[in-house]
Amino acid sequence: MPQQILIIHGGDVFETYEEYLDYLRNHEFTKEYLTGRKKWRDNLQRDLGENYEVFLPQMPSAYNAKYIEWKIWFEKSFKFLEDNIILIGGSLGGLFLTKYLSENNFPVKIKAAFLIAAPHSDDYLGDFALGESLEKFSTQCSKIFLYHSKDDPMVPFSEIEKYSKLLPNTEKVIFEDKGHFNLKEFPEFVEKLKSIK
């Protein structure tokens, strides 16, 4: 049976609808964006091979994300999941997984959870904002890994320490030069996933 991996991508949250419209008006388009840029997660199935099954659900309204919408969509995947799944959340996806697993029982056993460049409380997070306790999250995951890069231009590096204090039995993996992990390839992460037993 292949090792299942479920990845929740990032997104943006705005305090008002007008801020969202301003973002749409002022966001700089690039040719790379228009041609469908690939990131490491898009190649993860290929990089891991046939002993893995990688799920990449497209979460709704990623550019103006709402927690309740993501929760509804996320739960639709449950009928396909099996025990010992690995969960990965990138940026807002990491915050989403943290909030969801802190407030809800997951239907299958979680082998490991990875939070990659996840915001905690530095900026406006709307209905994704965390409660005070992450105990339920930590008790549902056999292993939790926190990934962050010191040069992340979107989520301050200090956010990893906030998670680390609330989730004391985590492994921190710190990089100097990975930015917000919008990488085409991420071989170090592929090797880490392969090492999870």
The pLDDT tens digits for 47-77 are 999 999 999 999 999 999 999 999 999 999 9
d(CA 13, CA 2): 34
Burial of 98 (0-12, 13-18, 19+ CB in 10 A): buried
The domain limits of the chain are 3-195
Number of H helices, E strands in the chain: 8, 6
Instruction: Report the chain's C-alpha Rg in angstroms.
Output: 16
pLDDT in tens, 110-153: 999 999 999 998 778 999 999 888 999 999 998 999 999 999 99
Give domain 3-195's CATH superfamily: Alpha/Beta hydrolase fold, catalytic domain (3.40.50.1820)
Q: How far is CA 62 from CA 13, 16, 40, 65, in A?
A: 8, 15, 18, 5
